[in-house]
A and B are shown apart, each in its own frame.
Chain A
């Protein structure tokens, strides 16, 4: 396997006393699109924030392109983030800037390129996501799927080595969903980048990714290629793939006895 661009080694992370990740080890190589799946609150988004250095691991190493992200100073961290692109769940476009200015933002802020070249680059990025015609619109004028595509164009503006996607399929209509899915694959292949897709969407992600990690109970509990995952007999993977209501991930949040909560057992005490 090629040298990994992103590597987690025995990573532990907690919010105060509350352990989110206990022991996570995984790696993503250049050219790979990897999905990270798990229930809500399983720490998937935390993984992305650890890669971006917005959170620091309590133990273990998070490496991006061979460098320990947790050990970098603030200025070094900002420098390394040039290698990263991230698509946020709802796009996170700057609402006071037009589509064109949103995509131009990282280029204007982080490069010394002349405005004429920035214009060409922005139009190329917008063309890649099919929205060159929307360059002069404001974010409020875009549909959810279009906003996500503009955010994608902005995320790839600096040709990142690592692309991070936080729930890219949430709340999209079937057409936008397929469009975003195929864009993730195409852009990754064109950039030669490593992409990490945090998602719930089983069908769409299994169609585009090379490898899948299932995260639960603070660690990676299953992993494999999409084919292996489809065949897996692991109870958690089965529940997730089949969308079963109950299983290793319980439908009910742990609570006291139901009857006692309703006051039905008072007389028996």
Chain B
């Protein structure tokens, strides 16, 4: 193989990496652009309110139902284990800590990415494919300020609220199983939970996690939509990428944040 062939081989091997780096660079510039246009956008808060409705309020059902079932399963599984050690009264602590620290933010974020993130990408992608964004630009209206920033902030504001709702519904599910079905003492269930769950260490850290996840998912969703090739296939691929990338980023971020928050790194 001559020199030229080798160069081509390395170029081909490195192409996926350089493509991703270039895309990451665009995403960073895009994020800066969103932040730059955010003050104008947030001043017209009704635009963001509309997006909170679409991304947040319309996700309430799936979040609430999933939270309830996850809490119920957690209580059933946890009871099985705890009862072996004679500490079934700690079920409330197990359910609440698992949900508030971990499952609420993470599973909430995964559901949010599938329900709202994909919808945001598809809407922006289709607006681009049907030249609505170009038309907006030609009407001297910046699409980043008018369309993208409100969707981004709508997602960022909705995510922690949805995660909190997921945890609350999960704890209620745990109560239904633990107290109503398995007959644990309700006073002990709630009081142990109250004394063991720390507001700052557990609840607040869970909220901080969900804020990070909200920023990540919303950014991925708006960027993938804006960057989508203006074709049917382009929009469908971008929508899939939003869900897959969001899930991976949420899990990776969760590991890093957990390492910092709960291991004292």
* Chain A contacts for B146, CB-based, 8 A: 109
Q: Contact between B140 and A88 (Cβ–Cβ < 8 Å)?
A: no
- In B92-142, the 8 Å CB interface with A consists of 130-132, 134-135, 137-142
Is the Cβ of B132 less than 8 Å from the Cβ of A82?
Answer: no
CB within 8 Å of B: which of A39-95? Answer: 52, 54, 78-79, 81-82, 84-86, 88-90, 92-95
Contacting pair B135 A92 (CB below 8 A): yes
A84 to B135, CA, bound (A): 11
B140 and A81 contact, CB distance less than 8 A: yes
Q: Which residue of B lies closest to A96 (CB)?
A: B123
Interface residues of A in 92-127 (CB under 8 A from B): 92-95, 105-106, 109-110
Majority secondary structure of chain A interface residues (helix, strand, loop or mixed): mixed
- Complex Cα gap A86–B139 (Å): 8
Q: Are B134 and A78 in contact, with the CB atoms below 8 A? A: no
Are B140 and A110 in touch, CB under 8 angstroms?
yes
Q: Is the CB of A81 within 8 A of B135?
A: no
Complex Cα spacing A63 to B142, Å: 22
B residues less than 8 Å from A151 (CB atoms): 135
Partner of B139, one of A79, A90, A95, A105: A105
Partner of A106, one of B130, B134, B139, B142: B139
- Chain A residue nearest in CB terms to B142: A78
- Closest chain B residue, CB of each to CB of A105: B139
Contact A79 B134 (CB under 8 A): no
Q: Which B residue's beta carbon lies closest to that of A157?
A: B139
Closest CB-CB distance, B52 to chain A, in whole Å?
Answer: 16
Residues of B within 8 A of A90 (CB): 130-131
A89 touches B131 (CB 8 A): yes
Given contacts A78-B142, A109-B146, contact A54 B131 (CB under 8 A): no
**Complex interface residues of chain A between 250 and 269 (CB less than 8 A to chain B):** none
The total of chain B residues at the interface (CB under 8 A) is 12
Chain B nearest CB from A31 CB (Å) reads 22
Our pick among B135, B141, B142 for the contact of A88 (Cβ within 8 Å) is B135
Q: How many residues of A contact B (CB 8 A)?
A: 24
- Asked whether A54 and B137 contact (CB < 8 A) given A88-B131, A90-B131, A92-B131, the answer is yes
Closest to A106 in B: B139
**Per-residue interface assignment for chain B, residues 214 to 257, with 1 indicating a CB less than 8 Å from any chain A CB and 0 otherwise:** 00000000000000000000000000000000000000000000
Q: Do B139 and A81 have beta carbons less than 8 Å apart?
A: yes
Contact B134–A54 (Cβ < 8 Å): yes
Distance of A94 Cα from B123 Cα, bound (Å): 11
Cβ of B132: which chain A residues have Cβ within 8 Å of it?
Answer: 92-95
Cα distance A90–B135 in the bound complex, in angstroms:
11
Chain B residues with CB under 8 A of A110:
139-141
Measured CB to CB, the closest approach of chain A to B200, in angstroms, equals 42
The CA-CA distance from A226 to B184 in the complex, in Å, is 91
Closest to A86 in B: B138
In the complex with contacts A89-B131, A94-B132, A81-B138 CB distance below 8 A: yes
> Across the interface, which residues of B come within 8 angstroms of A78, CB to CB?
140-142
Complex: how many Å from CA A135 to CA B135?
Answer: 20
Establish whether residues A109 and B137, one from each chain, have CB atoms under 8 Å apart when the complex forms.
no
Select which of A81, A93, A154 is within 8 A of B137 by beta carbon. A81
Q: Which residues of A contact B140 (CB under 8 A)?
A: 78-79, 81-82, 106, 109-110
List the A side residues contacting B139 at CB < 8 Å: 81, 105-106, 109-110, 154, 158
Shortest CB distance A74–B (Å) = 8
Please, which residue of chain A has its CB at the minimum distance from the CB of B140?
Answer: A81
Q: Which residue of A lies closest to B44 (CB)?
A: A109
B134 to A: closest C-beta gap in Å: 7
Residues of chain A with a CB closer than 8 A to B135's CB: 86, 88, 92, 94, 151
Minimal beta-carbon separation of B22 from chain A (angstroms): 14
Cβ contacts under 8 Å, A164 to chain B? 138
B231 to chain A, nearest CB (A): 14
| CB within 8 Å of A: which B119-178 residues | 130-132, 134-135, 137-142, 146
Q: What's the minimum C-beta distance from B91 to chain A, rounded to whole angstroms?
A: 47
A78 to B140, CA, bound (A): 5
- B35–chain A nearest beta-carbon distance, Å: 15
Nearest Cβ on chain A to B58's Cβ, whole angstroms: 14
> Could you list which residues of chain A lie within 8 angstroms of chain B, going by C-beta atoms?
52, 54, 78-79, 81-82, 84-86, 88-90, 92-95, 105-106, 109-110, 151, 154, 158, 164
Could you write out 9 A-B pairs with CB less than 8 Å apart? A54-B137, A78-B142, A81-B139, A86-B135, A86-B138, A95-B132, A106-B140, A109-B139, A158-B139
B residues in contact (CB < 8 Å) with A: 130-132, 134-135, 137-142, 146
Contacts A90-B130, A105-B139 aside, 18 further interface pairs with beta carbons under 8 A come to A52-B137, A78-B140, A78-B142, A79-B140, A84-B138, A85-B138, A86-B138, A88-B134, A88-B135, A92-B131, A93-B132, A94-B132, A105-B141, A106-B140, A106-B141, A109-B139, A109-B140, A151-B135
